[in-house]
């Protein structure tokens, strides 16, 4: 349980608050600026729905006067706008209409403080509360410091926290009055602070910066284990070690703000004075089974039937069978364990990869009231650190809970020592998927390749190393540039614990926004939330020459996605390339969709062509066209392109030498090849090939089997050499 | 006045990455075991007292299948499993000669599991089932039979795998073009989405040369960034256990749960990677409510919460009539969603709720690099993810990833990254820690003990770190 807290906000509502005194506010009035604070502060409390986090708001400079001291002149035009209480949605919604600067009235801010103190004193009496007073003002009105000594005594007596946030009061454009007031308030705050109270005065720019830092809900942990840590079985050995310990959460995922589902009551709420209609929402758990029924006409159908809970037993699935287990049977199967934390042994730090850890972490610390235990555990922790050892232990959190294998990491800071505990996997928890080596390629035939387009060159590796070192963020100046070793301003960028959960912060902001603007769309998440999740700009800029060298050397190309071809990488099965081919055309350009495989998951199956050339299966002309068009359009690596082109040519040769030749397919392929060459601006590639092809078809080995006709058709369709004139791009779609 | 009636808090997709995890994916395995005189040859223990019994390769294969079946039926009870013996004298279907379906590919029934157990325990039964045919079986025919098994259940399973256990490195077939036909069958299986995982067995006496036949046939289906283990497995009476270990290792199909770009240079260099789950707590299967009637099989009862209204009209005067209560069931679709705020619910559209956690695009963005000494395992949050490159969307991903991987290891650094693994999941901060490949040579095989890759280790937000508990005696320091 968090402590009870009472907060009173004193807001200056004198006419000058409608003006703008803060340069950075860009014309927004002082009250608009200060309301940002009010909305956030009050909104957080409304959202928390904590009954013990109460708020009151005092307006200074209101037209009316509403306070207990209203008889006295000094307290005129000071109103308690919100009595101290748990504020609810309606209260929040009314903030913009209630906190409006007056057109004519002035009040004294110090008197406002006194009204606030009085309200807190009345509400809290002698109960234990955290008491806060926040004063928001532009300091434009005269202040009456009469009796200030008594006020300070009273603040000290009540142990009040005091914050004064000024808007536009100490800027170059501020009036003499504002500046004088500001320095008087500063003196006042100094005097309060000397009484060992939390008292601050800050310009609103600082407050805005603080508002950007998301609010973290502090959770006080309770211990989740209260037992002993043992080394060796104390029941068997005299020299075993037993230390009383407790376990507390260290890292635990903060609960997100979850939505609720709700129902608006139906029907009319009765207005009759003698009748009252109440809608109660109830719930019950329904149990249903599916039964197979044979109807009169002999067909069997399925039917859902509700069953009573009393008729149900507990059971387990065993394949398609269901095995009911009675309570007694379950009892006899229970794995009996006793609450314990036994250290099994110690292992050097480097034997456990950090990726093997399974769970959130906890502190195992000596029982806090036990001096001897503290000393014992501390010795153990220091011994582990000195020898660089982790502990491995068997842990049963409660009797009859399954045992867990845990890792114990020694943890020492200036004034805190503990063992950090996290679970290790059992054999069943490890999936031994295998992935190929990254530094060599083993071909299926067992050959080892050290050069391949999948393998980085020395140049790429060196560039990557340079980049990694240039982008080191472990010690940066506030500007985001590398700091010298020992630079007092140098700090780790985005250290653990400095970045806030954007989902929680974003949800909070959205809820508070919706409360004030029910009809409007939600604003996008604020930029500040994600600022430190990007590399620091200055560093990126400085590292850019190194980065560019890296980018150039690795030459990564994004493959264009085709809308019409969502199921890429489906199995092909209709085309095979030469065995020696290291280059996998399909990988470079993506596979093509085979209509027959449309039902298959999209993630499947690329292939490497290792079998001997063989004509195989049906030729899918559409898939083929699709593929070659992609070559033409795709941003493949330039180095790879000639290879792809060669493969394509070899592919056509293969078709021509095979049986069951379909000339239409060849023509289609050649035409796609030609237009690809045009698009790639490499007419030479095509021309070299087509000349050879012509020779083969007309005079060479292919001429005999009637293949020469194909050449006739090719030339008829204008698929001969690409004329190397300036205008060759114009005929790029010939033959398609 | 509070007019809203709360039903229940809705968990807004706490960790949507996990939605795609294995539990929800059905898996089918057809376990094919060759039956031949050599598969049935008795293997005697190397030494009389080494604690092993005489056995045969076929028996070890069936034992491995049975072991796997027993484990899966508990941990993944909705997965399908089938056992096909080929080369038997008998056949289940005359169309598939020498193919005996010991167990059809389906979610197994308890009675079927018992049947397998009986075969293993009763030598006579075993011998009668495992009777080899006079002529060697046709591998083409066998693959076709397997195909039919998968085809009958087409689309029902996310992962389909064929475990092929044989010691024959050069199967023959009466047909002259059987190599080509076998390849066609393999293509057909791959076309169906079936992955073939060979278990090639060899002994000191009978080696196994994968290049004779199988490489050609099996590997037309795999891409080069896929990992297919074709190394033959030594089988002796003692090595039966090793076979079981191999079967166990391949129990879970390798499958990516996310596939996103990894941004290395801001705005200038991204590569394709896929994410895998290598560590996951295997929990005890949860119990169900079951309904059992005399003489009928027990069935599982599904439960769901039914919300109701009770509309009570009460007279307020003293001679109050009894309240007439009318209870009505509520259709789930009537419910709206919103967030609680100061005693009321502020309405939010479902898309708005989703958008609140859907911050940014799916992807992994490297923020910068830090010395590995700054990485603190005390901040562990959950099991790590493993990432490995893929060339699907970015050509050059593998070489770039490999350069990053080796540089991280050489320079002793890790990368700090912002991770949004899928479109629907919440982003988080993570350490990218490279792990080296470890290969050990044992039992005549090179065994990869650890795959090379990069682990994505989630790091806590400020919100997730608790304060140190108060320690009254923090001035007490022990010495070792």
Q: What phi and psi, each to the nearest 5 degrees, are found at residue B465?
A: -100, 125
Of B301, B378, B451, the CB nearest to A289: B301
Q: Quick check: is B8 in a domain? A: no
pLDDT above 70: residue A35: yes
pLDDT above 90: residue A83: yes
For A576-605, the three-class secondary structure string (H helix, E strand, C coil) is CCCCCCCCCHHHHHCCCCCHHHCCCCCCCC
Q: Mean pLDDT, chain A, as a whole number?
A: 81
Please give the residue that has the higher pLDDT: either A635 or B281.
B281
Burial class (CB in 10 A: 0-12, 13-18, 19+), A27: exposed
Comparing alpha-carbon positions, the chain B residue that sits nearest to A86 is B342
Statement to judge: residues B272 and B146 lie in one domain: no
pLDDT above 70: residue B272: yes
Domain end (from B231, B249, B267): B249
Counting one residue from chain A and one from chain B, the pairs whose CB atoms sit within 8 A come to 661
Statement to judge: residues B157 and B88 lie in one domain: yes
| The two three-digit tokens of residue A25, written as one number | 């506010």
Percent pLDDT > 70 in chain B is 83
Statement to judge: residues B96 and B236 lie in one domain: yes
Q: Quick check: is B416 in a domain? A: yes
> How many domains are there within chain B?
2
- What's the pLDDT score for residue B452? 94
Q: Quick check: is B342 in a domain? A: no
**In angstroms, what separates the C-alpha of A688 from chain B's closest C-alpha?**
27
Statement to judge: residues B266 and B184 lie in one domain: no
The C-alpha atoms of residue A478 and residue A410 are separated, in whole angstroms, by: 32
Q: What is the mean pLDDT of residues A325-350?
A: 89
Q: Quick check: is B91 in a domain? A: yes
Statement to judge: residues B373 and B402 lie in one domain: yes
Statement to judge: residues B186 and B224 lie in one domain: yes
User: For domain A5-212, which architecture applies?
Assistant: 3-Layer(aba) Sandwich (3.40)
- What's the pLDDT score for residue B14? 45
Digit-coded pLDDT (tens) for A171-180 = 888 889 999 9
Of B223, B346, B402, the CB nearest to A514: B346
- What's the pLDDT score for residue A61? 92
Q: Quick check: is B309 in a domain? A: no
Interchain pair B471, A368: CB under 8 A: yes
The C-alpha atoms of residue B222 and residue B239 are separated, in whole angstroms, by: 29
Comparing alpha-carbon positions, the chain B residue that sits nearest to A287 is B303
Interchain pair B356, A510: CB under 8 A: yes
Q: Which class is domain A225-251+343-428?
A: mainly beta
Statement to judge: residues B174 and B274 lie in one domain: no
Confidence of residue B424 (pLDDT cuts 50, 70, 90): confident
Residue B47 belongs to domain with CATH number: 3.40.50.410
Digit-coded pLDDT (tens) for A501-528 = 999 999 999 999 999 998 899 988 888 8
Packed helices A148-158 and A176-193: angle between N→C axes, nearest 10 degrees? 40
Side-chain half-sphere of B355: how many Cα atoms within 13 Å? Answer: 13
Statement to judge: residues B226 and B262 lie in one domain: no
The C-alpha atoms of residue A191 and residue A188 are separated, in whole angstroms, by: 5
A592 touches chain B (CB under 8 A): no
B61: containing domain: 16-249
The C-alpha atoms of residue B181 and residue B175 are separated, in whole angstroms, by: 9
Q: What is the three-class DSSP state of A507?
A: helix
| Interface predicted TM-score (ipTM) | 0.81
Q: Where are the domains of chain A?
A: 5-212, 225-251+343-428, 287-333, 434-493+536-556, 585-731
pLDDT above 90: residue B480: no
Of A259, A316, A428, the CB nearest to B339: A259
The C-alpha atoms of residue A169 and residue A186 are separated, in whole angstroms, by: 11
Say if CB B281 and CB B271 are below 8 A apart.
no
- What's the pLDDT score for residue A571? 33
Return the CA Rg of chain B.
29
Percent pLDDT > 90 in chain A is 45
Percent pLDDT > 70 in chain A is 79
Return the CA Rg of chain A.
39
Residue owning tokens 């070899």 = A650
Side-chain half-sphere of B240: how many Cα atoms within 13 Å? Answer: 24
**Is the fold of A5-212 the same as that of A225-251+343-428?**
no
Statement to judge: residues B200 and B155 lie in one domain: yes
Digit-coded pLDDT (tens) for A624-644 = 555 555 555 554 445 566 667
For A449-503, the three-class secondary structure string (H helix, E strand, C coil) is ECCCCCCCCHHHHHHHHHHHHHCECCCECCCCCECCCCCCCCECCCCCCCCCCHH
Digit-coded pLDDT (tens) for B81-116 = 999 999 998 888 888 888 999 999 988 888 899 999
DSSP assignment letter at A332: H
Digit-coded pLDDT (tens) for A195-236 = 989 999 999 989 988 888 888 877 777 899 999 999 988 888
Q: Quick check: is B386 in a domain? A: yes
Packed helices B397-411 and A458-470: angle between N→C axes, nearest 10 degrees? 60
Confidence of residue A680 (pLDDT cuts 50, 70, 90): low
Say if CB B379 and CB A361 are below 8 A apart.
yes
Q: Quick check: is B477 in a domain? A: no
The C-alpha atoms of residue B364 and residue B427 are separated, in whole angstroms, by: 9
Interchain pair A307, B437: CB under 8 A: no
- What's the pLDDT score for residue A617? 35
Statement to judge: residues B99 and B233 lie in one domain: yes
CA dist A369 → A38, A80, A375, A433, B272 (Å): 43, 47, 12, 48, 54
B470 touches chain A (CB under 8 A): yes
> Considering only CB atoms, which chain A residues are within 8 Å of B432?
none
Q: What phi and psi, each to the nearest 5 degrees, are found at residue B319?
A: -85, 50
| The two three-digit tokens of residue A565, written as one number | 């071809």
Q: What phi and psi, each to the nearest 5 degrees, are found at residue A700?
A: -85, -155
Side-chain half-sphere of B244: how many Cα atoms within 13 Å? Answer: 17
Statement to judge: residues B372 and B443 lie in one domain: yes
pLDDT above 60: residue B444: yes
Q: How many residues does chain B have?
A: 480
- What's the pLDDT score for residue B8? 56
The C-alpha atoms of residue B143 and residue B221 are separated, in whole angstroms, by: 14
Q: Quick check: is B370 in a domain? A: yes
Statement to judge: residues B105 and B159 lie in one domain: yes
Give B398's contacts (C-beta < 8 A, 6+ positions apart): A438, A454, A455, B225, B389, B390, B391
**In angstroms, what separates the C-alpha of B83 from chain A's closest C-alpha?**
15
- A250: nearest Cα among B430, B381, B458, B471: B381
pLDDT above 90: residue B191: no
């Amino acid at each position: 349980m968090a402590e009870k807290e009472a907060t009173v906000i004193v807001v200056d509502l004198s006419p000058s608050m409608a003006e703008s005194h803060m340069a950075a506010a860009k014309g927004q009035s002082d009250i608009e600026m200060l309301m940002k604070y009010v909305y956030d502060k009050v909104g957080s409390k409304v959202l928390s729905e904590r009954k013990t986090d109460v708020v009151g708001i005092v307006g200074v400079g209101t037209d009316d006067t509403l306070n207990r001291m209203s008889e006295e002149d000094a307290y005129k035009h000071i109103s308690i706008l919100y009595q101290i209480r748990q504020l609810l949605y309606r209260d929040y919604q009314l903030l913009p209409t209630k906190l409006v600067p007056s057109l004519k009235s002035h009040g004294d801010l110090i008197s406002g403080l006194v009204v606030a103190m009085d309200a807190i004193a009345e509400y809290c009496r002698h109960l234990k509360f955290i008491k806060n007073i926040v004063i928001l003002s532009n300091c434009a009105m005269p202040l009456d410091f009469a009796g200030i000594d008594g006020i300070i005594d009273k603040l000290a007596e009540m142990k009040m926290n005091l914050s004064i946030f000024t808007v536009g009061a100490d800027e170059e454009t501020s009036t003499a009055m504002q500046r004088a007031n500001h320095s008087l308030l500063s003196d006042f705050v100094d005097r309060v602070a000397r009484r060992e109270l939390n008292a601050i005065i800050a310009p609103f720019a600082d407050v805005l910066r603080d508002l950007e830092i998301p609010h973290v809900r502090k959770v006080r942990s309770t211990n989740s284990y209260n037992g002993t840590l043992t080394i060796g079985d104390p029941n068997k050995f005299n020299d075993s070690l037993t230390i009383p310990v407790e376990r507390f959460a260290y890292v635990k995922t903060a609960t997100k703000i979850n939505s609720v589902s709700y129902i608006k009551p139906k029907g009319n709420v009765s207005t009759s004075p003698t009748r009252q209609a109440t809608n109660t929402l109830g719930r019950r758990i329904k149990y249903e089974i599916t039964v197979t029924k044979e109807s009169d006409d002999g067909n069997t159908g399925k039917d859902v039937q509700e069953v009573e809970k009393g008729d149900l037993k507990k059971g387990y699935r065993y394949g398609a069978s269901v095995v009911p287990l009675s309570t007694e049977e379950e009892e006899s199967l229970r794995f009996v364990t006793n609450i314990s934390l036994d250290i099994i042994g110690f292992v050097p730090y480097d034997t456990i990869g950090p990726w093997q850890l399974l769970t959130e972490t906890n502190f195992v610390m000596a029982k806090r009231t036990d001096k001897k235990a503290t000393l014992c555990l501390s010795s153990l922790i220091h011994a582990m650190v000195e020898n660089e050892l982790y502990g491995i232990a068997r842990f049963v959190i409660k009797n009859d809970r399954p045992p867990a294998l845990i890792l114990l990491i020694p943890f020492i800071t200036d004034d805190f020592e503990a063992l950090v505990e996290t679970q290790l996997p059992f054999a069943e928890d490890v999936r031994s998927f295998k992935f190929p080596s990254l530094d060599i390629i083993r071909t299926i035939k067992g050959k080892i390749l050290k050069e391949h387009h999948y393998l980085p060159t020395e140049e790429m590796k060196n560039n990557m190393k340079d980049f990694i070192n240039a982008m080191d963020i472990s010690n940066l100046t506030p500007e985001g540039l590398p700091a010298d070793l020992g630079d007092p301003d140098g700090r780790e960028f985005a250290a653990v614990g400095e970045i806030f959960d954007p989902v929680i912060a974003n949800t909070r902001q959205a809820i508070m926004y919706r409360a004030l603007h029910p009809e409007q769309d939600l604003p996008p998440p604020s930029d500040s939330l994600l600022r430190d999740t990007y590399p620091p700009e200055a560093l990126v800029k400085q590292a850019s020459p190194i980065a560019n060298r890296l980018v150039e050397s690795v030459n990564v190309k994004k493959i264009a996605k085709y809308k019409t071809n969502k199921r890429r990488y489906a199995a092909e099965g209709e085309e095979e390339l030469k065995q020696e081919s290291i280059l996998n055309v399909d990988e470079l350009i993506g596979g093509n969709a085979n209509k027959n495989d449309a039902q298959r998951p999209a993630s499947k199956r690329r292939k490497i062509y290792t079998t001997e050339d063989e004509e195989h299966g049906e030729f899918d002309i559409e898939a083929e066209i699709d593929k070659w068009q992609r070559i033409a359009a795709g941003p493949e690596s330039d180095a790879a392109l000639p290879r792809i082109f060669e493969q394509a040519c070899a592919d056509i040769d293969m078709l021509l030498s095979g049986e069951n030749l379909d000339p239409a397919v060849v023509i289609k392929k050649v035409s796609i090849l030609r237009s690809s060459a045009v698009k790639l601006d490499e007419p030479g590639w095509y021309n070299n090939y087509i000349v050879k092809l012509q020779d083969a078809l007309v005079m060479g080995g292919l001429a005999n089997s009637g293949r020469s006709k194909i050449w006739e058709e090719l030339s008829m369709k204008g698929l001969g050499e690409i004329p190397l004139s300036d205008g060759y791009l114009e005929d790029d779609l010939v033959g398609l | 006045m509070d007019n809203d009636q709360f039903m229940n808090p809705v968990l807004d997709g706490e960790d949507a990455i996990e939605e795609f995890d294995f539990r929800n994916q059905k898996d089918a395995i057809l376990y094919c075991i060759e039956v031949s005189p050599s598969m049935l040859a008795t293997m005697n223990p190397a030494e009389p007292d080494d604690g092993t019994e005489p056995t045969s390769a076929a028996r070890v294969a069936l034992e491995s299948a049975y072991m796997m079946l027993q484990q899966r039926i508990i941990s993944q009870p909705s997965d399908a499993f089938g056992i096909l013996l080929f080369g038997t004298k008998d056949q289940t279907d005359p169309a598939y000669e020498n193919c005996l379906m010991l167990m059809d590919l389906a979610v197994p029934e308890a009675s079927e599991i018992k049947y397998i157990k009986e075969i293993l325990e009763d030598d006579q039964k075993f011998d009668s089932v495992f009777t080899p045919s006079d002529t060697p079986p046709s591998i083409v025919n066998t693959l076709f039979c397997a195909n039919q098994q998968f085809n009958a259940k087409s689309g029902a399973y996310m992962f389909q795998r064929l475990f092929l256990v044989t010691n024959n490195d050069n199967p023959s077939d009466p047909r002259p073009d059987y190599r080509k036909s076998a390849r066609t069958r393999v293509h057909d299986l791959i076309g169906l989405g079936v992955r073939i995982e060979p278990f090639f067995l060899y002994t000191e006496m009978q080696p196994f040369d994968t290049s004779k036949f199988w490489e050609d046939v099996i590997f037309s289906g795999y891409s080069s960034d896929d990992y297919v283990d074709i190394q033959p497995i030594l089988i002796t009476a003692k090595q039966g256990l090793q076979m079981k270990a191999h079967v166990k290792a391949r129990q879970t199909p390798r499958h990516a749960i996310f596939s996103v770009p990894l941004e290395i240079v801001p705005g200038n260099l991204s590569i394709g990677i896929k994410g895998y789950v290598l560590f996951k707590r295997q929990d005890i299967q949860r119990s169900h409510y079951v309904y059992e009637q005399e003489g009928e099989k027990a069935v599982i009862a599904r439960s769901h919460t039914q919300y109701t209204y009770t509309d009570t009209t009460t007279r307020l005067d003293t001679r109050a009539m009894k309240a007439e209560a009318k209870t009505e069931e509520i259709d789930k679709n009537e419910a709206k969603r919103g967030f609680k705020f100061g005693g009321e619910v502020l309405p939010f559209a479902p898309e708005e709720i989703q958008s609140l956690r859907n911050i940014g695009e799916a992807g992994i963005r490297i923020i910068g690099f830090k010395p590995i000494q700054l990485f603190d395992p005390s901040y562990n949050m959950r099991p790590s993810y493993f990432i490995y490159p893929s060339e699907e969307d970015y050509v050059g991903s593998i070489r770039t990833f490999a350069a990053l991987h080796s540089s991280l290891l050489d320079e002793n650094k890790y990368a700090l990254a912002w991770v949004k693994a899928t479109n629907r999941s919440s982003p988080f901060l993570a350490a990218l820690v490279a792990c080296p490949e470890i290969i050990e040579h044992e039992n005549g095989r090179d065994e990869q003990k650890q795959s090379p890759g990069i682990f994505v280790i989630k790091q806590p937000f400020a919100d997730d770190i608790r304060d140190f508990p108060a320690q009254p005696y923090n001035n007490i320091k022990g010495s070792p």
